[in-house]
Every structure is written in structure tokens, then in C-alpha cells.
Amino acid sequence: MEKGAENSLMVKADKPIVQPLDLPTDSRPASSIDNGREAIVQALVTMPTAPGVYRMLAQDGEVLYVGKAKNLKNRVRNYAQPAGLNTRTLRMIAETRAMEVVTTHTEVEALLLESNLIKRLRPRYNILLRDDKSFPFIVITGDHEWPQLAKHRGARNRKGEYFGPFASASSVNRTLNTLQKAFPLRSCSDSIFASRTRPCLQYQIRRCVAPCVDRIDKDSYAELVTEARDFLSGRSREVQLGLSKRMEAASAELAFETAAVYRDRLRALAHVQAHQGINVASVAEADVIAIHMEAGQSCIQVFFFRAGQNWGNRAYFPSHGRERTPAEVLGAFMGQFYDDKPPPKEILLNEWPENHGLIAEALSIKAERKVRLHRPERGQRRELVNHAQTNAREALARRLAESASQRRLLEAVADLFALEGPPRRIEVYDNSHIMGTDAIGAMIVAGPEGFQKNAYRKFNIKDEDITPGDDYGMMREVLHRRFARLLKAQAAAESSESPAAGESTNGSNGEDARVAGEWPDLVLIDGGLGQLTAVREVFADLGVTGVALAAIAKGPDRNAGLERIHLPDKPEITLPPRSPVLYFLQRLRDESHRFAIGTHRARRAKRMDRSALDSIAGIGPGRKRALLNQFGSARAVETAGLTDLESVPGISKAVAQKIYDFFHPEG
């Protein structure tokens, strides 16, 4: 068991029990279901009857499946009797070569541990939550005498009060932008706050009361903080009523400017509430989860309601086999979804998940308070569930349509480049630089599900022998580094999967090694015949075979629609201007160009942020800041005299001499 898994879930689990298997050397294939069944039978000999989690392991140690059980021995015994099991499960059994179990005290602890392990190990035979990015929150900090109102994403380790989650960055930004109009608290970081000497633009546009320069006293600022906290906690009615009374009082005293400030704040609060969609005043804190399944795929919509407000929704498309039921998918989803998120007081569902009572108990333990799972049949809560289910159905319909369209495009690409079948992985390469400086190479990846942004890679050009601006040389370096790494991964995979004497490989090892090494089916180069020739040389040097290669060059005068496609040892291809395949290749090329330019600009900006001061030993951020505050720029520091340098706070005579000598080596 991975270190720390039990502690992260507050589960007291026993040490793992591993049942390795000494496989007999015979003529049967390594993927034989008999070998897998024998591994399970041998594991059952010492399998405990306690609750816990089991893992099914492949020959190379890969975790194939993670499951939990109230009685481990009874549950695992089902795999030793393959009759009646579906094809996917039989395939998993055939690959199993050992089992590992972790016992827990209760089935609830096993469920928590199972969810944690599935998220971290991502076994390919489990139902997987593929898109599980962290959610943004709004935080009112509590570690500063002037609290900050800000967006927060990630571990909530800073002292303060967190409100959320919000479904997306756009939803939290929209809410935060409006809240700053209603509650003009500071949004700047502590370091910027400490260095301010005059009000910033936020004060000028009435988004901040400028506590940094004492434009407000602490009691008045604390009152603003309390109002913001009350509003985000669901007490919006009381906050609005209080502002309304103060507006009327100011108006009665003829303080019309003050009254106008309260009026604008009331309008901002009304604007927040006007964008909440469904009226959910009766739902204080709940997640609404609805699943829709069609054509062997599923979509799960999650709506977040906090403080009586709709804080957005997000669609998920779990990865699972076609034989899975909605209850199974929903149960697996909820376990993984709430593994690293605080569950709300209530979860509204359109279907009961598998083991829903167990899930409710596990979430209550995690939240340290009661969490209620509810499948409403009528009323406003049922309307919320129906709305979420409609969104799930429409999102899945869009995805299925896009998948069908993407499949047709990939089939057309396969025909164009004479591939054996639709490419599962297309890699596109481009370079970016300015007169050879800050040169980078970029790789983007696309496949049946569109762009795979988590697989994008950037390459800083390192070869000092490459002439600045040599596009061909840069392309050679990028492709050489990429495919040398893939060949190394393939060699490692093949060595770990080499069959015992007399065993048949069935021709599968090479393919499995390539999948493990993320080999592409098609490589596209943004460029012309020269770039294609450079890449062919790299492939020849490394011995790369079986990868289709093409270069797509802009047409005359760089006009889109007149692109020329260069292939090895074949005439160039020009597709009709309205060809769907041409549009698809243009999208791939443009995405690689966008990623390359963006990466290059980020690197250049980082370099430009550095100054000559960064090259002086002993000059850290504090001294650098003091020098720049005194002289205004690194250029002014360079021309300053020794006496002027010594006058800077925090700069001793020895340090001043070091700075002066750095800029005046001849002196």
C-alpha cells in the first residue's frame, strides 16, 4: 500500500498482504485466463475474511483493478469462477498475476480507502473520474489585520474562511467582481499591501477602501468584512436590509454622496442574486447530481448550491465499460469526487448510487457531520434534479455527436495518410523563437476525444551548436529527444514483459510496449519539405519505424486553404479548400502554433523579468527591492556611485563595493 493512503482518509488499515505467484513455465500464452484464475486461487489460500481493499496486479506490477469488500475472501472468490462474468472482467482476470489486499476495520473505511486508491492509481478496469480539477473558492483571509477578499484554488492551508466551491474560474471571478462592488475589501497580496504609499486604481473605481494608506479605520473595515461574511454565508437578506436602512438614514441627513454609495452596493448585491438562475432560496447548502447514460457512455452533471445561491455546474464523463449500470457509475463517481472535497450537508440525486447508505455514512465520517443523500420525488428539489438531468442528457448528446464527427475525421485522416486505422494519437510539432533567442519546441497531442492538453510538452532548445534561427536544427533536437525517450521506455517495457522460455507472445508485446510509451500513430510537422527531411533523418538515426510522418506547409503568400502536405517519398498533396480533413489539419497546426508561441512568450517574459542584479552573488529579493526602490531601475543602479550604493537601507559597505565592482570590473 502506498505510504500515507490510510492517514489521508483517517482509516486505520492493516499492512498489505501480497500474494505473488510463481508462474509455471509452459507453452500457454502469458495472457491465458487459466494463469489469471490460478493466481486468484492461490491468493485465496491466505485471503482474510475481514473488510478491506484488494488490488489485482499484472505481470509488470501494474494495478489493473481496485475493489473493496465487506468480506475479502467471499468477494475475491467470485473471480476464481469466471463462468457468467462479462468480457471485460474476463480480460482483467486473464491479465492478473498477483493480488494485494489491505484490511480495514469497517466496510466504510474500505470504501474511503478504495476511492483514494482509484484516484491515485487510476486502474484501467475501474470506473474513472477523468476530469477532476480542483474547484475555486472565495476566501476571506484570517492571518492579517486587514483581511483580504480573494479567489483561492488548491489546498486550503491558509488561515481564513472559505466559501464555495464554485464550478469554474469564470463563475468565481464574476461573483468576486460583483462582491468587490458591494464589499470594497482589499484584493491585493500582503506584499503589495505593505509596499503601497498611495491608493491604487481599485480605490479610484470604488472597488477598495484603501486600508493600505489608512483611508478607513479598522472598525469600519471590520464591519465590511462581517457584511461580506454574512452575505456569503447565506444571510443576504439581513445584509441588504441593513444597507437599505443606512441609505435611508444618510438620505434623511442630506448626505447624498454617502447614500449613493449604499445604493450602489445594494445594486451590486441584487446583481449577484439576479444571475443565480433557478430560485433556490429553500436550498441552503447542497450538491445536485444527476446521471444520464446512452450508447454505453454517461454524463454526470453536478450543480453547486451554497448560501441559497447557484454557484455553477460542471459536467463529467466517467470512463467505464458498456456493461456498467447507472447505480455503479454514480457510486464510483461519488466516492472519487468527494475524496478531496468537503461534502455539503445534502446531496440531491436522480438515481440511487450503489451502496448509497454506505456512501452517506462514509461522507458523514469525512465531513465530521451528517451528510444526507436524498432522491426527491416532488417539489422544488425535484425541479432542481430534473434541471440537472436535462443538462446531463444534452451534454452527453453533444459529446456523442462530437465523438461521431471526430471519428469520421480520423477515418478520413487514416485514408489520406494510408494508415491501418483511425489514429489514436496524433502528435504535432512546431518551433518558436525571435532571431534565434528564447527558442523552444512544442508538441501538442490529439486523438479520438480531441486535444489532450495534459499530454502537451515543451522543449527548451539546449544544443549550443545549433545556429540561432536554424529551424531544421531545432526540429532535429526536439524530435530526437522525444523519440529517444520513447525508445528507452519501449525497451524497458519489453524487458519487463519478455516471456519465459516456451511462452508465446502472440505478437502483442511490441504493441503493449508502444502503448505504454505513448507512441504516436501520426506525426505532423508545422513546416515544409526541409522540416520533413530533418525529421526523417532523426527517425533514420534512431531506427524509428511504423510511425506515419507528414509536414503541412502554408500555401503561397501564407494563405489558409492553400496548404501543401508533404509526405516521405510521395508527391505533395493539396486538398480542396473546403475539405473537412483540411480544416481538421489546420486546427491541429494552429493549435501547435498557439502553444509554441505562448510558451515562447512566457519564457521570454521570464527572462526579461531578470536584470543584471540577479547575477550578483549575495543580492537576494530583499536587497534587489531596496536597490530598485532607491534608484528606480537596474540601469540606474549600474551607473550609481559607491557612496550612493552605501546609502541604500540594508546595503552594507561590503555589499555596496561588490555591486560597484560588478558593474565596474576595470576599476
Residue 623 confidence class, pLDDT cut points 50, 70, 90: confident
CB 433 within 8 A of CB 600: yes
In this structure, the answer to whether residues 460 and 394 fall within a common structural domain is: no
Query: Residue 608 above 60 pLDDT?
Result: no
Which candidate, 328, 330, 341, 336, places its Cα nearest to that of 373?
330
What average pLDDT score do residues 334-343 get? 88
Domain assignment present for 212: yes
State the Cα–Cα distance between residues 93 and 64, nearest whole angstrom.
9
pLDDT at 8: 37
Candidate from 150-154, 377-381, 592-596, 660-664 with smallest mean pLDDT: 660-664
Residue 273 confidence class, pLDDT cut points 50, 70, 90: low
In this structure, the answer to whether residues 178 and 263 fall within a common structural domain is: yes
In this structure, the answer to whether residues 140 and 220 fall within a common structural domain is: yes
CB 70 within 8 A of CB 126: no
pLDDT at 178: 76
Query: Residue 622 above 60 pLDDT?
Result: yes
Q: Give the model confidence (pLDDT) of 468-481 as tens digits.
A: 778 888 899 999 99
In the block, cell 480542483 appears at: 134
DSSP helix, strand, coil percent of the chain (3-state; round to 5) = 45, 20, 35
DSSP assignment letter at 499: P
CB 602 within 8 A of CB 443: no
Q: What is the CATH number of the domain that holds 78?
A: 3.40.1440.10
Which phi and psi (to 5°) does residue 319 adopt? -95, 125
Q: Which of 65, 89, 121 is the last residue of a domain?
A: 121
Dihedral, 131, 133, 138, 141 alpha carbons, nearest 10: 160
Candidate from 174-178, 335-339, 563-567, 653-657 with smallest mean pLDDT: 174-178
In this structure, the answer to whether residues 116 and 14 fall within a common structural domain is: yes
Query: Residue 233 above 90 pLDDT?
Result: no
- pTM of the entire structure? 0.61
In this structure, the answer to whether residues 234 and 341 fall within a common structural domain is: no
Domain assignment present for 35: yes
For 442, counting Cβ atoms within 10 Å of its Cβ (0-12 exposed, 13-18 middle, 19+ buried), the class is: buried
Domain assignment present for 646: yes
pLDDT at 470: 80
Q: Give the model confidence (pLDDT) of 7-18 as tens digits.
A: 333 344 444 444
194-199 own/partner pairs: CB under 8 Å, 24+ apart: none
User: What type of residue sits at position 119?
Assistant: K
Domain assignment present for 308: no
pLDDT at 177: 80
Crossing angle, helix 356-367 and helix 326-337, to 10 degrees? 10
Higher confidence at residue 31 or residue 10? 31
State the Cα–Cα distance between residues 143 and 157, nearest whole angstrom.
11
Q: Which of 382, 399, 416 is the last residue of a domain?
A: 399
Residue 251 confidence class, pLDDT cut points 50, 70, 90: confident
Grid cell of 269 as nine digits: 448585491
Query: Residue 511 above 60 pLDDT?
Result: no
Q: What is the CATH number of the domain that holds 600?
A: 3.30.420.340
In this structure, the answer to whether residues 379 and 461 fall within a common structural domain is: no
pLDDT at 555: 67
Residue 281 confidence class, pLDDT cut points 50, 70, 90: low
Please give the angle made by the CA atoms of 511, 87 and 493, to the nearest 5 degrees.
25
In this structure, the answer to whether residues 348 and 455 fall within a common structural domain is: no
What size, in residues, is the chain? 667
In this structure, the answer to whether residues 589 and 630 fall within a common structural domain is: no
Q: Give the model confidence (pLDDT) of 79-101 as tens digits.
A: 988 777 888 889 899 999 999 99
In this structure, the answer to whether residues 490 and 379 fall within a common structural domain is: no
Residue range(s) defining the domain that contains residue 492: 426-497+511-604
Query: Residue 25 above 80 pLDDT?
Result: no
Query: Residue 509 above 50 pLDDT?
Result: no
Grid cell of 635 as nine digits: 540601469
State the Cα–Cα distance between residues 62 and 126, nearest whole angstrom.
13
Query: Residue 30 above 60 pLDDT?
Result: no
CB 13 within 8 A of CB 102: yes
pLDDT at 515: 43
For the chain, what percent of residues have pLDDT higher than 90? 28
In this structure, the answer to whether residues 491 and 589 fall within a common structural domain is: yes
pLDDT at 4: 38
Query: Residue 210 above 70 pLDDT?
Result: yes
Query: Residue 505 above 60 pLDDT?
Result: no
Q: What is the CATH number of the domain that holds 625?
A: 1.10.150.20
Q: Give the model confidence (pLDDT) of 286-322 as tens digits.
A: 999 999 998 888 999 999 888 777 888 888 999 888 8
pLDDT at 520: 92
Total count of domains within the chain: 5
Higher confidence at residue 608 or residue 487? 487
Sign of the Cα pseudo-torsion (612, 617, 620, 625, in order): negative
pLDDT at 489: 79
Q: Mention every residue, 6+ apart, whose C-beta is less than 8 A from residue 618.
A: 655, 658
In the block, cell 507512441 appears at: 519
Highest mean pLDDT among 148-162, 263-277, 519-533: 519-533
In this structure, the answer to whether residues 361 and 484 fall within a common structural domain is: no
Q: Give the model confidence (pLDDT) of 123-163 as tens digits.
A: 989 998 876 667 888 899 988 999 999 888 887 888 998 88
Residue 493 confidence class, pLDDT cut points 50, 70, 90: low
pLDDT at 607: 60
pLDDT at 420: 82
Task: Quote the mean pLDDT of the chain.
Answer: 81
Count CA within 13 A, CB hemisphere, residue 232: 26
How many CB atoms are located within 10 Å of the residue 449 CB?
12
In this structure, the answer to whether residues 170 and 28 fall within a common structural domain is: no
Domain assignment present for 412: no
Higher confidence at residue 365 or residue 644? 365
For the chain, what percent of residues have pLDDT higher than 70? 85
Q: Give the model confidence (pLDDT) of 414-453 as tens digits.
A: 999 988 888 989 999 998 866 656 788 899 999 887 888 8
pLDDT at 96: 92
pLDDT at 173: 81
DSSP assignment letter at 25: -
What average pLDDT score do residues 104-117 get? 91
Domain assignment present for 279: no
Count CA within 13 A, CB hemisphere, residue 614: 6
Domain assignment present for 598: yes
What average pLDDT score do residues 506-510 get? 40
Domain assignment present for 27: yes
For 38, counting Cβ atoms within 10 Å of its Cβ (0-12 exposed, 13-18 middle, 19+ buried), the class is: middle
Q: Tell how far CA 226 is from the center of its chain.
A: 34
Grid cell of 439 as nine digits: 527558442
Q: Which of 94, 121, 148 is the last residue of a domain?
A: 121
